[in-house]
Amino acid sequence: MIYAMLALIIILSLLIILMAPFPVVGFFIGAPYYPSNSRKVKKMIELADLRKGQTVADLGAGDGRVIYEASKKGVEAHCIEINPILTLYSRLKFRKIKNIKIINKNMWKVDLSSYDRIFLFCLSKEMKKFEKKLQMEMKPGSLVISNIFKFNKWIPVKAQDSIYVYKVTK
């Protein structure tokens, strides 16, 4: 009986590890993994108006596709991702790109004060809480580029193709 239970626990643990990149697990740890399509990624980068020397982050970076495109503009580009499998995948994929940093961390625990641009694609229920964190921590003039979801009170300075750009003012 004990061996059967142990075997079941091992099988379940393996299943969770293998399923980690997929929406079912993401659902329990925050926004599920649902990658932006290439048209959206291109548009987000265009709207972000990136300049060499800036530091940018994608909060909940998934497989790092937004950050990869951003890195081509000469910025210091950070993937912040809670899912260890997606983190490992990006680390392997981008290991030779010097200006990409992969950080396996809960985005709520990241200090955002050094970022000039933040990319977001998270659940609408989290946007209200995020509005406060971003406005409090980011420097004036920095931009937040949100795919699909809008903030509660903050008025976007640009909106195209369901992508909203917000400017921090203090």
- Residues engaged in binding ligand SAM (CB under 6 A): 26, 29-31, 33-36, 58, 60-62, 65-66, 80-83, 86, 106-108, 121, 147
CB of 7 to ligand SAM, least distance (A): 29
Four-residue CA torsion sign, 125, 139, 39, 105: negative
Nearer to ligand SAM, 71 or 147 (CB): 147
Nearer to ligand SAM, 60 or 78 (CB): 60
Name the nearest CA neighbour of 102 among 62, 43, 52, 42.
62
Nearer to ligand SAM, 79 or 168 (CB): 79
CB of 73 to ligand SAM, least distance (A): 17
Nearer to ligand SAM, 70 or 80 (CB): 80
CB of 61 to ligand SAM, least distance (A): 5
The tokens 């200090």 sit on which residue? 111
156 CB contacts (<8 Å, ≥6 apart)? 150, 164, 165, 166
Q: H helices within the chain, ranges in order?
A: 2-19, 23-29, 38-48, 65-71, 84-93, 124-137
Query: Diameter of the chain by CA atoms?
Result: 63
CB of 54 to ligand SAM, least distance (A): 18
